[in-house]
Chains A and B, each alone.
Chain A
Amino acid sequence: MARFGMVIDTARCVGCMDCVVACQTENDVPTGFCRDWITTEVRGTFPSLTMEIRTERCNHCDNPPCVQCCPTGASHVEPFGRTVQVTANRCIGCKACIASCPYDARFVHPKGYVDKCTFCLHRTKDGKDPACVTVCPTHCMYFGDLDDPKSTVNQLLTSRKWHTLLPEAGTRPRVFYLT
């Protein structure tokens, strides 16, 4: 069974927000909310500065605290692709998962249940890439099976240097950033 992951080449990301808009359109994300977003990180002191632009979303962690704390099992690991999903009609809206997420990737949908990035489950089930990946104009995003050594994502992770977000949280995130 596949274990989906995402690789983002920060050397190519320009922060155009096409992925954000594509997600909002594809997933009917309500106005004022976002399942993915752009973070710009500037380091150093002028004039020696470095900048990293990256697109962020739910990390679909291997050790997801949001799934552990959910009292109903609404927040769960989907057998297909091992992604973290929320079943709306099992969610009571206690918001424990939101508080337990180190990435603040979740939010309360105006309809009351908790919502977040699904890695476009409805598309990946059809064998397609998530919407954000397909629209990226700089082709900086890659999606695939981390358990398959021949997949593009694995090839990139073995050949390039990368980092994940807040590895010290111990959640084993599955969105990787090439540097």
Chain B
Amino acid sequence: MLELTTTRHNPLIDPSLHVWGWEIPVYLFLGGMVAGMMVFAGMAMLKTSKGEDTRNFFSLQTPLLAFMLLNVGMVALLLDLSHPLYVWAIYITFMPLSPMAWGSWVLLIVYAILLVSALIRLPEAWPWIGRTLPVTQKASDWFVCSPARMRALAWINIVFGVAVGVYTGILLNTMVARPLWNTSVLPVLFLVSGLSAAAAALHLAAKVFGKRPAPQGMISGALAALGQPLGPQPPAPHTAESLQRADIGLLAVELVLIFLLLIGLVTSSTSHGAAAGLLFSGKYAVMFWVGVVAVGIVVPLVMQLLEMSHRIRHTIAPAVLVLAGGFALRWVLVNAGQASAIVSAAAGR
């Protein structure tokens, strides 16, 4: 038997580590979703560059939605910082071993990519912008009229989308002291979960915003541009369907990855086994099995399969559940991960 007593009593550290609250799960969730949206936007751009149905072009407005979501995520990230006035310190140096440094620099590039990708779409979605500022029309034409430039922008979106999606997992993955995160499945799981959340969000946005007519004029048009990121043009019916088909595949892959993550932990060291135990019993188990696995993956997966085969009516319910599940996954892993710790090898002595 082993009994440990300590006089340490540091806030956020004792009795068990809890330095990250709601902000980090929110940021990781939104960051993952933005990553997924960049990949989908890139894929739509590739189709456009091949001259397919221009209404697929609606996905080019995805970058605007992604841009707004990323801003919310960055606000959450800033709120988490306990010394936020020094945030500039990230950008006066580059620490090659720190995933957070890589992420910070990649996010700067991502902002630029999203802005360019969003701005080239504006004159077509809202012609008054092109009329008022001819330079936007010119810049848009320069990109859109050249398949080669569209392809380049598409691939840049896809590559950096994957980079952001993977980085959110690597960030946790590299922390040696938290066994629950010490699995290489985590970055892939976060990427796939981000893609699935993006598919659900785009599906949802297409359903909710797609049918409305576009407001006109300088001010209401500008407000519409912000409030209706998917634009006035309704998406082609097959677009929503292909998003749903993609989501079915992604959810299935996610289930497999979660299974692999658990197998990997359970069969590893005592510390990793104990970390997996945090997902099987205790205060995170219900959220994990009910919130993440059942409500977030299995139920929407089955619902979407039934919808695809026309056995139940098409609703937005699965998309909402997938989004809730995506957040629950980040919430459980961030919280349970912090609670996990290395079990001393000498404990059984």
Contact = CB atoms under 8 A, between A and B. Distances in A.
Interface in B62-92: 80-84, 86-87, 89-90
Q: Interface on chain B toward A: helix, strand, loop, or mixed SS?
A: loop
A11 interface: no
Contacts of A104: 8, 10, 13-14, 17
A42 B93 CA distance: 46
Nearest to A163: B346
Given A71-B98, A94-B80, A65 B8 contact: no
Interface residues of A, number: 53
A37 B7 CA distance: 6
Nearest to A44: B1
Given A68-B98, A70-B98, A93 B175 contact: no
Contact of A69 (B5, B80, B93, B175): B175
A108 B84 CA distance: 13
B178 interface: yes
Given A38-B6, A91-B86, A99 B176 contact: no
Interface stretch (B99-107, B210-218, B237-245): B99-107
A92 B97 contact: no
B214 to A, nearest CB: 41
A74 B82 CA distance: 14
Given A71-B90, A71-B95, A99-B175, A39 B6 contact: yes
Kindly state the interface size class of chain B when it binds its partner.
35 or more
Nearest to A102: B177
Interface in A83-131: 88-96, 98-102, 104, 106-108, 111-114
23 contacts: A32-B11, A37-B8, A39-B6, A43-B3, A56-B6, A69-B97, A69-B98, A70-B100, A89-B89, A91-B89, A92-B89, A95-B80, A99-B20, A100-B174, A100-B177, A104-B13, A107-B10, A108-B19, A112-B83, A112-B84, A114-B82, A165-B344, A168-B345
Interface of A: 17, 20, 32-34, 37-45, 56, 65, 68-74, 88-96, 98-102, 104, 106-108, 111-114, 163, 165-171
Shortest beta-carbon contacts, A-B, top 6: A93-B82, A93-B83, A37-B8, A112-B83, A71-B100, A102-B177
